[in-house]
Amino acid sequence: MQLFENLNLLKSAYNICVKPVCKRFQLTQMEFDVLMFLANNPEYDTAADIVRLRRFTKSHVSVALKELGTRGLLETFYTSGNRKSIHLRLLPAAAPVVEEGRKAQERFGTVLFEGFSPSEFALVQIIFQRICAQARELIQEE
């Protein structure tokens, strides 16, 4: 199905946009993805959230989190009264990476939708949200 090849194409284009940030801060793609996920989704702050929502493997997330922690970019903590779930928090040292990462993500979006009218962009968003909702349903049925 052509959709799969196109999704891989989009992922490759995204990786090209963020590669300079990874190189500048000496991050692997996975470390960058985990860090940006935490920055862009503060309501999801556990390794389980990252695995569930980004569909990454537990082992890759674990390795990335360990390295990000070692480099002083994030820390783990427990919420009061709950010693079961380990939560993740970005540290101030991560701010330059997040800032550059968001610029790279914005550039990707700008390049991707260059020349789209506001109504075309809105339609793309609606269709993509619908596709993703149906994919989530399929996954939940599993």
Residues 6 or more apart whose Cβ sits within 8 Å of residue 140: none
> 75 — phi, psi (to 5°)?
-135, 160
Residue 123 domain-assigned? no
Q: What is the CATH classification number for the domain harbouring 91? A: 1.10.10.10
Residue 1 pLDDT: 66
| Domain annotation covers residue 141 | no
% the chain with pLDDT above 70: 99
Domain that holds residue 43: 2-115
Is 140 contained in some domain? no
Q: What is the mean pLDDT of residues 104-111?
A: 96
pLDDT at residue 103 is higher than 70: yes
Separation CA 82–CA 42 (nearest Å): 19
> Quick check: is 56 in a domain?
yes
Total domains present in the chain = 1
Q: What is the pTM of this model?
A: 0.87
Residue range 81-104: mean pLDDT, rounded:
92
Per-residue confidence at 109, pLDDT binned at 50, 70, 90?
very high
Could you tell me which residue, 2 or 115, shows the higher pLDDT?
A: 115
User: Is residue 121 included in any domain, yes or no?
Assistant: no
